[in-house]
Amino acid sequence: MKKTRTVLTVLLAVGFIIGISSCKKYRKYDDGEVVENTFTGNFDVGSTGSNPGGDFTGNGDSGVYSFVWDNSSSKAELNYDITTSGGSVTFVLKDAKGNEVLNETRSAGSGEDSFSGVSEEGKKGKWLVEITLTNFNGDGSYSLTPIN
């Protein structure tokens, strides 16, 4: 009986620690810090901080560019535009708990080469901005704004 109680106590403690740490998923990263950069094209971050933005170019390049953004609000407005003869760009925003709050793709030949929209509501704090470019041949730009 004592052994069972000890095992249960340990399991509860581990579960509690995991629960707390998941709320601070991107805490170890600084605002604007790159988490992953496997994109073989060019990615130029023009601004960081509360309103990050930048430009990207590719010549049939693929990969992921992701960074942490300290969002002071529970929602975000994303604007992006691409000019491309091939490939696609996907923007994914994840809130401070790691929940996906926006997922938007634009592809060559789809007729829509720009996006302007608002994320779902999420937890304030450090968000992950993940930009996936696939066989991207062209250029684009993006900007993010925290909104209430």
What are the tens digits of pLDDT across the range 69-89? Answer: 999 999 999 999 999 899 999
Report the predicted TM-score, pTM, of the whole model to 2 decimal places. 0.80
How far, in Å, CA of 112 to CA of 82, rounded? Answer: 9
Highest-confidence segment of 9-13, 17-21, 52-56, 110-114: 52-56
How far, in Å, CA of 107 to CA of 40, rounded? Answer: 18
36: Cα separation from own chain's centroid? 10
For residues 104 and 72, the answer to whether their CB atoms sit within 8 Å is no
pLDDT at 29 over 90: no
Residue 22, judged by CB atoms within 10 A of its CB (0-12, 13-18, 19+), counts as exposed
Q: Determine how many CB atoms are found less than 10 A away from the CB of residue 48.
A: 17
